[in-house]
A and B are shown apart, each in its own frame.
Chain A
Amino acid sequence: MKYVLLNYTKAEASGERLAGEIDPRIAAVLERPAVSGFVRLLPAESATTLSLESRKLLMTDGPFVDSKEFLAGLILVEADDLDGALAIAAELQELDLTAAIEVRPVLEQELGGA
């Protein structure tokens, strides 16, 4: 099974930290064999959101959901079952660097462009 870990970070975490080196403790987890890939995102203020308002394309500055926490990265995990994915997520969350991690199963198909 493939799972994606959606890492949410507190907004006050600075862009610099996010853009810089990966925290070595996180890097250690990312090297686990179960981790098959990850992407890091720039802070939410760099986001642009497109939506349709009465059939007209509307472009707004900022993320779709405006909250104190924002999506900072996605980690792709391969595990036998949910407990396997939760174990990796728990390891990351216990570092106390993320606000929360959402674990979602991925529809079984090849990753686009991979």
Chain B
Amino acid sequence: MLEEVFRDQWGRVLATLVGLLGDIELAEEAAQEAFATAAERWPREGAPANPTGWLITTARNRAIDRIRRERTLAAKTARLERELRDRAEETMETTPFPDERLELIFTCCHPALAPEAQVGLTLRTLGGLSTAEIARAFLVPFETMSKRLTRAKHKIRDAAIPFAVPPDHLLPERLEAVLAVLYLIFNEGWGGGRVDLSAEAIRLGRSLVELMPDEAEAHALLALMLIDDGRRAARLRGGELVLFDDQDRSLWDEGQIAEGRAHVGRALALRGDGAYTIQAVIADLHLREPRDWAEIALLYERLERITGSPVVTMNRAVAVAELEGPAAGLAVLEALDLDDYRYLHSTRADLLRRLGRREEARAAYARALELSAPGPERRFLERRLAEVSQGAGQDG
């Protein structure tokens, strides 16, 4: 229970402290101390009326103590003492602190940081995950993640990466970077079956929408994640992959999907026409029966023009196959140069299988298998490969 409160408060408290102290490491240490004090006191004395204010004030005071001990930071002490004097009249519980989570998100997702550092730092500072949890989620040793985060924090400090919401002329580009980080976290959760990360990405997405309620693409990304994640329980049965058409719809999280649809509506009402808006609309269309493959193919085409991504072209091929037959889908695929992408081979294999071209299908399944890690997806491909191999013998 208390842990839940802390997870909710962490990003908010840390962001304000970074704004106040101008240093992420110092802010983090101070916040940690304040949360530890709270964990000790609140169960005994009851939680304060304004937990956020209490945590920030306590952390700030700890930081001041620390800075006083370290005389080399004299300039910062002066600034903080001034701050403290200005606030002396206000009581601790009602001190209004600005919510600076948005500033912190843009700092953590600054393109001058390596993408994996952006992801790790966002989860640490805004998600409140521990370094050990992040390391486990990304399957890297603790030391590797710890070094990655420390290096990023030092670069933010040394290169003076701004703690600010970017000015209008930079905003679209920088917001895109933020959205990319959240989506990366989400997909990491999907692919590896690491549930926590998708939930974390959704949580961060909700914060972003709350902080930037007029950004269509922020709503769209949240919608996309909610809708995809809402089908999670139906995606596996007894640990085995279930194809979309065979999924048990009663397992879908209708509440979450409805929430996702509401955000699709919001994105469209804000005249969103970016990549996430299109993807969210497509995700929504996929859940409706009968599926409107013509509309889906058209939307993929628009998405292709925006992103230029061959993966999008591959998805369009799937829609085209539904609309005009597997041969037409295959024709779209043949133009793609995506030899290292396992889903290209599994998609191609499926279309070849449907066309009865079993030898070719077998080769494509084999290639997809080479590229797959052990797990439900791999076992699914193995089953399909066995099926077409049997058939191939009969063809022969």
Which residues of A are at the interface with B, using a C-beta cutoff of 8 A? Answer: 1, 80-83, 86, 103-105
A83 touching B158 by the CB < 8 A rule? Answer: no
A81 touching B162 by the CB < 8 A rule? Answer: yes
Question: For residue B112, which residues in chain A have a CB less than 8 angstroms away from its CB?
Answer: 82, 86
- Cα of A105 to Cα of B161 in the assembled complex, Å: 10
Question: For residue B162, which residues in chain A have a CB less than 8 angstroms away from its CB?
Answer: 80-83
B114 to chain A, nearest CB (A): 15
Q: Which residue of B lies closest to A83 (CB)?
A: B162
Question: For residue B36, which residues in chain A have a CB less than 8 angstroms away from its CB?
Answer: none
Q: Which residue of A lies closest to B112 (CB)?
A: A82
14 residue pairs from A and B, CB less than 8 Å apart: A80-B160, A80-B162, A81-B160, A81-B162, A82-B110, A82-B112, A82-B159, A82-B162, A83-B161, A83-B170, A86-B112, A103-B159, A104-B159, A105-B159
A105 touching B158 by the CB < 8 A rule? Answer: yes
**Extra A-B contacts (16), CB below 8 Å, given A80-B162, A81-B161, A83-B166:** A80-B160, A81-B160, A81-B164, A82-B110, A82-B112, A82-B159, A82-B160, A82-B161, A82-B162, A83-B161, A83-B170, A86-B112, A104-B159, A105-B158, A105-B159, A105-B160
Q: Which residue of A lies closest to B174 (CB)?
A: A83
Which residues of B are at the interface with A, using a C-beta cutoff of 8 A? Answer: 110, 112, 158-162, 164, 166, 170
- Cα of A105 to Cα of B162 in the assembled complex, Å: 13
Partner of A1 from B110, B160, B164 at Cβ < 8 Å: B160
- Cα of A80 to Cα of B170 in the assembled complex, Å: 16
- Cα of A75 to Cα of B166 in the assembled complex, Å: 25
A93 to chain B, nearest CB (A): 14
Question: For residue B170, which residues in chain A have a CB less than 8 angstroms away from its CB?
Answer: 83
- Cα of A81 to Cα of B165 in the assembled complex, Å: 13
A38 to chain B, nearest CB (A): 20
- Cα of A82 to Cα of B106 in the assembled complex, Å: 13
Question: For residue B110, which residues in chain A have a CB less than 8 angstroms away from its CB?
Answer: 82
Q: Which residue of B lies closest to A107 (CB)?
A: B158
Most buried by A among B159, B161, B170: B159
Question: For residue A81, which residues in chain B have a CB less than 8 angstroms away from its CB?
Answer: 160-162, 164
- Cα of A56 to Cα of B116 in the assembled complex, Å: 42
Most buried by B among A81, A82, A103, A105: A82
A102 to chain B, nearest CB (A): 12
- Cα of A46 to Cα of B63 in the assembled complex, Å: 53
A81 to chain B, nearest CB (A): 4
Q: Which residue of B lies closest to A3 (CB)?
A: B159
- Cα of A104 to Cα of B161 in the assembled complex, Å: 12
- Cα of A86 to Cα of B162 in the assembled complex, Å: 12
A45 to chain B, nearest CB (A): 32
Question: For residue B164, which residues in chain A have a CB less than 8 angstroms away from its CB?
Answer: 81
Question: For residue A83, which residues in chain B have a CB less than 8 angstroms away from its CB?
Answer: 161-162, 166, 170
Most buried by A among B158, B160, B164: B160
